[in-house]
Structure 1
Amino acid sequence: MRISTLVICAFVIGGMLALGGCGHKLVAHNGESTVAVYPDEATFIKLVDLKKQGGVGGMIGGLGEGLAARQVDNNTPVRIVSSDERGAQIEVTDGEFKGLKGFVARDNVR
Protein backbone atom coordinates (compact mmCIF):
# COMPACT_ATOMS: atom_id res chain seq x y z
CA MET A 1 0.00 0.00 0.00
CA ARG A 2 2.85 2.37 0.73
CA ILE A 3 4.38 1.93 -2.74
CA SER A 4 1.06 2.62 -4.49
CA THR A 5 0.69 5.86 -2.50
CA LEU A 6 4.16 6.95 -3.62
CA VAL A 7 3.35 6.13 -7.24
CA ILE A 8 0.12 8.13 -7.11
CA CYS A 9 1.93 11.09 -5.53
CA ALA A 10 4.61 10.91 -8.24
CA PHE A 11 1.95 11.03 -10.98
CA VAL A 12 0.19 13.97 -9.32
CA ILE A 13 3.43 15.92 -8.99
CA GLY A 14 4.39 15.09 -12.59
CA GLY A 15 0.99 16.25 -13.81
CA MET A 16 1.24 19.51 -11.92
CA LEU A 17 4.68 20.19 -13.41
CA ALA A 18 3.42 19.45 -16.91
CA LEU A 19 0.46 21.81 -16.52
CA GLY A 20 2.69 24.51 -15.07
CA GLY A 21 4.54 24.83 -18.37
CA CYS A 22 1.34 25.46 -20.33
CA GLY A 23 0.12 28.60 -18.58
CA HIS A 24 1.13 31.24 -21.14
CA LYS A 25 -1.30 33.56 -22.91
CA LEU A 26 -1.14 36.20 -25.60
CA VAL A 27 -1.47 39.79 -24.36
CA ALA A 28 -2.72 42.66 -26.53
CA HIS A 29 -1.66 46.25 -25.76
CA ASN A 30 -2.81 49.81 -26.47
CA GLY A 31 -6.52 49.02 -26.59
CA GLU A 32 -6.08 46.27 -29.19
CA SER A 33 -8.14 43.09 -28.96
CA THR A 34 -5.78 40.91 -31.03
CA VAL A 35 -2.08 40.03 -31.19
CA ALA A 36 -0.09 39.71 -34.42
CA VAL A 37 1.44 36.22 -34.82
CA TYR A 38 4.14 36.28 -37.51
CA PRO A 39 5.16 33.20 -39.52
CA ASP A 40 8.75 33.46 -38.24
CA GLU A 41 11.21 35.76 -36.49
CA ALA A 42 12.80 36.97 -39.73
CA THR A 43 9.47 38.29 -41.02
CA PHE A 44 8.85 39.98 -37.66
CA ILE A 45 12.24 41.74 -37.79
CA LYS A 46 11.77 42.92 -41.40
CA LEU A 47 8.31 44.37 -40.76
CA VAL A 48 9.31 46.06 -37.48
CA ASP A 49 12.30 47.67 -39.23
CA LEU A 50 10.06 48.94 -42.04
CA LYS A 51 7.56 50.39 -39.55
CA LYS A 52 10.36 52.25 -37.72
CA GLN A 53 11.41 54.00 -40.94
CA GLY A 54 8.20 56.00 -41.10
CA GLY A 55 6.87 57.50 -44.32
CA VAL A 56 6.41 55.10 -47.21
CA GLY A 57 8.48 52.37 -45.51
CA GLY A 58 6.27 52.58 -42.42
CA MET A 59 3.17 52.31 -44.56
CA ILE A 60 4.57 49.26 -46.34
CA GLY A 61 5.49 47.72 -42.96
CA GLY A 62 1.91 48.23 -41.74
CA LEU A 63 0.48 46.67 -44.88
CA GLY A 64 2.98 43.81 -44.69
CA GLU A 65 1.94 43.08 -41.12
CA GLY A 66 -1.68 42.87 -42.23
CA LEU A 67 -0.77 40.38 -44.94
CA ALA A 68 1.93 38.31 -43.24
CA ALA A 69 0.70 38.11 -39.64
CA ARG A 70 -2.38 36.33 -38.30
CA GLN A 71 -4.41 38.31 -35.77
CA VAL A 72 -5.13 36.08 -32.76
CA ASP A 73 -7.48 37.04 -29.93
CA ASN A 74 -6.19 38.48 -26.66
CA ASN A 75 -5.76 35.93 -23.81
CA THR A 76 -5.45 32.99 -26.21
CA PRO A 77 -3.53 30.16 -24.48
CA VAL A 78 -0.18 29.31 -26.06
CA ARG A 79 2.83 27.08 -25.50
CA ILE A 80 6.26 28.67 -25.81
CA VAL A 81 8.47 26.56 -28.06
CA SER A 82 11.52 28.82 -27.76
CA SER A 83 12.28 32.43 -26.90
CA ASP A 84 14.96 35.09 -27.20
CA GLU A 85 15.35 38.81 -26.48
CA ARG A 86 12.96 39.80 -29.31
CA GLY A 87 10.10 37.42 -28.61
CA ALA A 88 8.93 33.84 -28.60
CA GLN A 89 8.15 31.07 -31.04
CA ILE A 90 4.72 29.86 -29.91
CA GLU A 91 2.02 27.31 -30.65
CA VAL A 92 -1.63 28.14 -29.96
CA THR A 93 -3.07 25.43 -27.69
CA ASP A 94 -6.77 26.31 -27.69
CA GLY A 95 -9.41 28.38 -29.43
CA GLU A 96 -10.09 29.26 -33.05
CA PHE A 97 -6.42 29.14 -34.06
CA LYS A 98 -5.47 25.95 -32.19
CA GLY A 99 -2.31 24.48 -33.71
CA LEU A 100 -1.12 27.76 -35.24
CA LYS A 101 2.64 28.18 -34.88
CA GLY A 102 4.44 31.47 -35.20
CA PHE A 103 6.47 34.25 -33.64
CA VAL A 104 5.21 37.00 -31.32
CA ALA A 105 6.93 40.01 -29.78
CA ARG A 106 8.29 39.53 -26.27
CA ASP A 107 5.75 41.87 -24.64
CA ASN A 108 2.82 39.99 -26.21
CA VAL A 109 3.30 36.81 -24.13
CA ARG A 110 2.46 36.47 -20.44
Structure 2
Amino acid sequence: MAVERDDLLKEIAALEEEVGQLRRAVVSHAVIDQAIGVVITHGRLLPGQGWDVLRTVSQNTNTKVRLIAEQIVQWPYSGRLPEDIQQALEAALARPAATGRTRTPTTSADF
Protein backbone atom coordinates (compact mmCIF):
# COMPACT_ATOMS: atom_id res chain seq x y z
CA MET A 1 0.00 0.00 0.00
CA ALA A 2 2.83 2.45 0.85
CA VAL A 3 4.55 1.67 -2.47
CA GLU A 4 1.37 2.48 -4.40
CA ARG A 5 0.99 5.73 -2.46
CA ASP A 6 4.62 6.72 -3.17
CA ASP A 7 4.17 5.91 -6.86
CA LEU A 8 0.99 7.97 -6.94
CA LEU A 9 2.70 10.92 -5.24
CA LYS A 10 5.58 10.74 -7.71
CA GLU A 11 3.14 10.67 -10.61
CA ILE A 12 1.26 13.67 -9.20
CA ALA A 13 4.52 15.60 -8.79
CA ALA A 14 5.54 14.76 -12.36
CA LEU A 15 2.16 15.89 -13.69
CA GLU A 16 2.33 19.13 -11.70
CA GLU A 17 5.77 19.81 -13.19
CA GLU A 18 4.46 19.09 -16.69
CA VAL A 19 1.50 21.44 -16.18
CA GLY A 20 3.91 24.16 -15.02
CA GLN A 21 6.07 23.65 -18.10
CA LEU A 22 3.04 23.80 -20.38
CA ARG A 23 1.84 27.01 -18.74
CA ARG A 24 5.25 28.62 -19.24
CA ALA A 25 5.27 27.44 -22.85
CA VAL A 26 1.86 29.00 -23.53
CA VAL A 27 2.97 32.36 -22.09
CA SER A 28 6.26 32.21 -24.01
CA HIS A 29 4.42 31.36 -27.23
CA ALA A 30 2.07 34.32 -26.78
CA VAL A 31 4.98 36.73 -26.28
CA ILE A 32 6.77 35.34 -29.33
CA ASP A 33 3.60 35.75 -31.42
CA GLN A 34 3.28 39.35 -30.25
CA ALA A 35 6.93 40.02 -31.11
CA ILE A 36 6.39 38.57 -34.58
CA GLY A 37 3.58 41.09 -34.99
CA VAL A 38 5.86 43.96 -34.00
CA VAL A 39 8.60 42.73 -36.34
CA ILE A 40 6.30 42.33 -39.34
CA THR A 41 4.81 45.77 -38.72
CA HIS A 42 8.19 47.43 -38.24
CA GLY A 43 9.78 45.65 -41.17
CA ARG A 44 6.72 45.65 -43.41
CA LEU A 45 7.04 41.89 -43.82
CA LEU A 46 4.74 39.02 -44.52
CA PRO A 47 3.67 37.12 -41.39
CA GLY A 48 5.76 34.07 -42.25
CA GLN A 49 8.90 36.20 -42.43
CA GLY A 50 8.61 37.51 -38.86
CA TRP A 51 9.65 34.23 -37.26
CA ASP A 52 12.73 34.01 -39.49
CA VAL A 53 13.78 37.50 -38.45
CA LEU A 54 13.27 36.74 -34.74
CA ARG A 55 15.28 33.53 -35.05
CA THR A 56 18.08 35.36 -36.88
CA VAL A 57 18.22 38.08 -34.21
CA SER A 58 18.34 35.38 -31.53
CA GLN A 59 21.20 33.57 -33.25
CA ASN A 60 23.18 36.73 -33.96
CA THR A 61 22.92 37.98 -30.38
CA ASN A 62 23.24 34.55 -28.76
CA THR A 63 20.03 35.27 -26.85
CA LYS A 64 17.00 33.02 -26.43
CA VAL A 65 14.11 33.83 -28.75
CA ARG A 66 11.80 34.30 -25.77
CA LEU A 67 14.07 36.99 -24.32
CA ILE A 68 14.38 38.73 -27.70
CA ALA A 69 10.59 38.60 -28.00
CA GLU A 70 10.09 40.16 -24.57
CA GLN A 71 12.37 43.06 -25.50
CA ILE A 72 10.68 43.59 -28.87
CA VAL A 73 7.18 43.51 -27.37
CA GLN A 74 8.16 46.26 -24.91
CA TRP A 75 9.89 48.33 -27.57
CA PRO A 76 6.83 50.24 -28.87
CA TYR A 77 5.93 51.24 -25.29
CA SER A 78 9.37 52.08 -23.99
CA GLY A 79 10.83 53.47 -27.19
CA ARG A 80 14.03 51.58 -26.37
CA LEU A 81 15.58 48.41 -27.64
CA PRO A 82 18.97 47.16 -26.43
CA GLU A 83 21.63 48.21 -28.93
CA ASP A 84 22.72 44.67 -29.80
CA ILE A 85 19.15 43.62 -30.48
CA GLN A 86 18.45 46.80 -32.47
CA GLN A 87 21.50 46.23 -34.65
CA ALA A 88 20.75 42.54 -35.19
CA LEU A 89 17.10 43.34 -35.99
CA GLU A 90 18.01 45.99 -38.55
CA ALA A 91 20.62 43.68 -40.11
CA ALA A 92 18.11 40.82 -40.32
CA LEU A 93 15.49 43.09 -41.87
CA ALA A 94 17.97 44.49 -44.39
CA ARG A 95 18.95 41.07 -45.72
CA PRO A 96 16.89 40.06 -48.75
CA ALA A 97 17.44 36.37 -47.99
CA ALA A 98 15.90 36.74 -44.53
CA THR A 99 12.92 38.77 -45.64
CA GLY A 100 12.43 37.58 -49.18
CA ARG A 101 12.76 41.15 -50.47
CA THR A 102 14.68 44.33 -49.92
CA ARG A 103 13.35 47.01 -47.61
CA THR A 104 14.11 50.55 -46.66
CA PRO A 105 15.55 50.54 -43.13
CA THR A 106 13.54 52.38 -40.51
CA THR A 107 14.67 53.81 -37.23
CA SER A 108 13.52 53.28 -33.69
CA ALA A 109 11.79 56.64 -34.04
CA ASP A 110 9.10 54.75 -35.95
CA PHE A 111 7.88 53.46 -32.61
TM-score by length of 2: 0.35
| Higher RCO, Cα 8 Å, sep 6+ | 1
